Amino acid sequence: MSLRRLQQRAKIGCPFCWEYVPTPQRKIAVFSADGTLGGRCGGCGAAFVVDETGRSGGQALLDAQAVLCDGDLDKAMAMDSHDYEVKKRAYQGPTNSVGGRPQGHAYLQPKIWFLKLKDKA
């Protein structure tokens, strides 16, 4: 999926603070060889990445950890699942000509993975 097509889609709200997240940008300092589309929420600082195929959740989660650690891959690998919260949302496509969404293969829909550091109490 091209960046241009992603920019044409509806805005996405962060599931942690409900602020709109910026348009995903290509991030190179991640675990994926070709980089990933992602960014940071301006409201709460959560990291997000787009799983463009809807089938690469594990890779997207690793890439989101790298974005959360500002590209420090060693720090991202040292993180434990108790250090952050994870939320995922379907990245809805545009509506079709009759006003509904295309049906079928919902598991192949792009997804956005959000990660936010937990508050240390």
What does the alpha-carbon distance between residue 83 and residue 5 come to, in Å, rounded to a whole number? 33
Q: What is the CB-side half-sphere exposure of residue 81 using CA atoms within 13 A? A: 4
Query: How much is the pLDDT for 55?
Result: 82
Query: How much is the pLDDT for 98?
Result: 42
pLDDT in tens, the chain (121 residues): 555 555 555 578 999 999 999 989 999 988 988 889 999 999 999 999 999 888 888 899 999 999 999 999 999 999 988 999 999 988 764 443 444 445 555 557 889 999 999 986 5
The model's pTM: 0.77
